[in-house]
Amino acid sequence: MKFQAIKGVRDILPPESGLWNRVEQAARDVFHTYGYGEIRLPIFEPTELFARSVGLDTDIVSKEMYTFADHQLRDIEVFGGMISKRRVSKEELSLVAMQTYMREFLRQIDLSREDHMFPETPENVAAVAELKTALHQFEKIVNEEGFRDKDVLASLIDVMQSQADGIHLGDVITLRPEATASVVRAYIEHGMHTRPGNVKLYYMGPMFRRERPQKGRYRQFYQIGAELLGPSDHPALDAEVIEMLLAFVARVNLTGAKLYINSIGDKNCRPAYVERLRGELQKVRDKLGADSQRRIETNPLRVLDSKLPEEQPIIDKLPHIADHLCDACREHYAELKRQLALRKIEYQENWRLVRGLDYYMRTTFEITAPGLGSQNAVCGGGRYDGLVELLGGPAATKGIGFAIGTDRLMLSLQEAGAAAKCALDVYIAWMGVQAYPAVVALARKLREHDFSVELPPQEMKFGKSLSLADRLGARFAVIVGEDELAARQFTVKRLADGDQRRLAEADLLEYLTKSRTA
């Protein structure tokens, strides 16, 4: 059997992973200068966390999450499913079948109890007790009168079904599709609002969405994100977050990046705009595709996200939210633009930038980069002032942040010619068993000085050894044979141009160290 990575996920191998490390280090360095500290978050969370924050009607929650029940009680679950889905009919056969499933369901529960696997919560204990009583009654009637009184038997089954449905085998959990919800959960859980000033956190790691894989879109993908939580919603904070993002973009030499901004209002002005939009969309319903038609009811804003070519002329004529912002939101947006100008940050306004997650309000922004085809958004972010309160935290806390799609950033950098630097500094080509102790000591010494060193475990012919050094992309070969050993020196060859010299150990170290800064 040949194993392969699952569809939509992939391995990141050296030397490419070297480039990933450099980019991640650049994020750490830049974010540090803005006062951000790293938060390491769990990979899975209760499903409810994402359902609440990202929103039930978003693509992410409605169809892309990897969700599962966190328990090992498959047998109980299977019989529970059979009981709960089966319509109760008063046919004798159906009653007998239900009786059998109930018995098996309870038998599996008893078995799991013996193994201490069953969650003995008060609710579960009560439900199992009631189920057992009802089943006992059911069987007593059947034993005494057979299936004559089907109404009574059916109503007993009804009772058993609802008790069975109430049994909770474990938590329903989800592999995180994004991390803002987790950051906010952690902020609340650890009472971080009591910390002085703004809480500034960054994270990096894998996210999971069951999307259709294509270039720049994976089922396990990586994000580098930052979130700022605190009592103020001043637009200067939005501008500084964007400034930090662009400082990172510049640090990694991403060229051709474009910043788009928008304001999507708040709970005071957005509902009226959404109604207006709904009204306009209803007038052109017939000309829209199925997704957009559905969204007229569920979430008209998301229609603005549509990429269908035939919908574009229609969308172009829809009302713009900028014309419907309340005074506070309009002023917030105007000040954001002043703050960006003050920082000499170039941007384009995009009134259709509504973002695919429900928690946003006011500022939204995105960065696109060349070389990515249709999946050209390398970063998305925005303000989410109500989210902390929605998840049970203090209403006064506001938030803003972004997440960079690391995979897409890498693609764009690689298209532009970025390559991982050669990782191997020194290859030691040695001959003669007497040389081995000396080269082991040399390799250790060089590694202590942070050089990456390849030391072949067995003697090789010089020609073969040097050719391997070349193919490995080493910068230097250090040659140790009988002559070198006798002279207590090393021959060092710069592989790029063949420059060769003989040096004592101390001089060799100095020579290699100088070459590193050259």
The least CB distance from residue 382 to ligand HAM, in Å, is 5
Of 422-461, which residues contact ligand HAM (CB under 6 A)? none
Q: Where are the beta strands (DSSP E) in 70-219?
A: 172-175, 199-208
Shortest distance, position 205 Cβ to ligand HAM, whole Å: 12
Q: Which of 61, 156, 314, 377 binds ligand HAM (CB under 6 A)?
A: 377
Please say which residue, 180 or 263, places its beta carbon nearer to ligand HAM: 180
Considering only residues 333-362, where is the footprint of ligand HAM by CB under 6 A? Answer: 356-357
Q: Which residue has the tokens 């592999």?
A: 175
Rounded to whole angstroms, the maximal C-alpha distance in the chain is: 107
Give me the least distance between CB of 429 and ligand HAM, in Å please.
Answer: 43
Q: What is the closest distance, in whole angstroms, from the C-beta atom of residue 180 to ligand HAM in the complex?
A: 4
**Residues written for the chain:** 518
- In terms of CB distance, is 80 or 401 closer to ligand HAM? 401
Q: Which of 180, 263, 306, 412 binds ligand HAM (CB under 6 A)?
A: 180
Structure tokens of 298? Answer: 């569920």
Closest CA relative to residue 120, chosen from 109, 130, 131: 109
> Residue 264: phi, psi to the nearest 5?
-110, 20
| Helices 150-165 + 122-145 axis angle, to 10 | 160
Q: Which residue lies nearest ligand HAM, judged by its C-beta? A: 405
Q: Rounded to whole angstroms, how far apart are CA atoms 211 and 42?
A: 21
Q: What minimum distance in Å lies between the beta carbon of 289 and ligand HAM?
A: 22
- Residues 84 and 101: their CA atoms lie apart, in Å, by 10
Q: Which of 103, 51, 129, 24 is nearest to 410 (CA)?
A: 24
Torsion over CA of 422, 423, 429 and 433, rounded to 10 degrees? -170
Q: Which of 53, 58, 178, 239 forms a contact with ligand HAM (CB under 6 A)?
A: 178
Dist. CA 433–CA 121, nearest whole Å: 69
Half-sphere exposure of residue 376, counting CA atoms within 13 Å on the CB side? Answer: 14
Q: Could you give phi then psi for residue 427, rounded to 5 degrees?
A: -110, 125
Tell whether omega for the bond before 15 is within 30 degrees of 0, i.e. cis. Answer: yes
Stretch that binds ligand HAM, among 71-79, 376-384, 451-459, 473-481 (CB under 6 A): 376-384
Two tokens, residue 225:
């994100």
14: buried, middle or exposed (CB in 10 Å: 19+, 13-18, 0-12)? Answer: exposed
Per CB under 6 A, which of residues 205..244 are in contact with ligand HAM? 209, 211, 216-218, 221, 223, 225, 227
For ligand HAM, the closer of residues 257 and 357 by Cβ is 357
Residue 375 contacts residue 415 (beta carbons within 8 Å): no
Q: Which is nearer to ligand HAM, 206 or 456 (by Cβ)?
A: 206
Closest contact distance (angstroms) between CB of 75 and ligand HAM is 35
CA-based radius of gyration for the chain: 32
Is 59 a binding residue for ligand HAM by CB under 6 A? The answer is: no
Q: Which is nearer to ligand HAM, 17 or 89 (CB)?
A: 17
CB of 359 to ligand HAM, least distance (A): 8
Identified binder of ligand HAM from the candidate list 23, 242, 254, 378, rule CB under 6 A: 378
User: Where do we find the tokens 């050719």?
Assistant: 467
* Binding piece for ligand HAM, criterion CB under 6 A, among 20-28, 127-135, 378-386, 507-515: 378-386
**Beta-bridge partner residues of 398:** 230
**Secondary structure of 15-59 as H, E, C letters:** CHHHHHHHHHHHHHHHHHHCCCEECCCCCEEEHHHHHHHCCCCCH
Using the minimum distance from each CB to ligand HAM, give the nearer residue, 39 or 379.
379
Q: How many residues bind ligand HAM (CB under 6 A)?
A: 25
Nearer to ligand HAM, 95 or 242 (CB): 242
**Toward ligand HAM, which CB reaches closer, 53 or 112?**
53
Between 118 and 218, CB nearer to ligand HAM: 218
Site pattern 380..409 for ligand HAM (x: CB under 6 A): xxx------------------xxx-x-xx-
CB 208, min distance to ligand HAM, A: 9
The answer to whether the CB of 106 falls within 8 A of the CB of 79 is no
Among residues 388 and 431, whose Cβ is nearest to ligand HAM? 388
Instruction: Please enumerate in sequence order all residues whose Cβ is within 8 A of that of 7, keeping only pairs 6 or more positions apart, or say none.
Output: 213, 219
Toward ligand HAM, which CB reaches closer, 134 or 410?
410
Query: Which of 51, 98, 361, 379 is in the footprint of ligand HAM by CB under 6 A?
Result: 379
Distance CA 482, CA 431 (A): 7
What CA–CA distance (Å, rounded) separates 444 from 421?
23
- Least Å from the CB of residue 253 to ligand HAM: 18
Q: Exposed (0-12), middle (13-18) or buried (19+): which is 275, by Cβ within 10 Å? A: exposed
Would you say 332 or 408 has its CB closer to ligand HAM?
Answer: 408
CB of 374 to ligand HAM, least distance (A): 12
Q: Which of residues 26-55 bind ligand HAM (CB under 6 A)?
A: none
**Of the ranges 21-29, 97-105, 256-264, 379-387, which one interacts with ligand HAM (CB under 6 A)?**
379-387
Name the site residues for ligand HAM (rule: CB under 6 A).
Answer: 178, 180, 209, 211, 216-218, 221, 223, 225, 227, 356-357, 377-382, 401-403, 405, 407-408
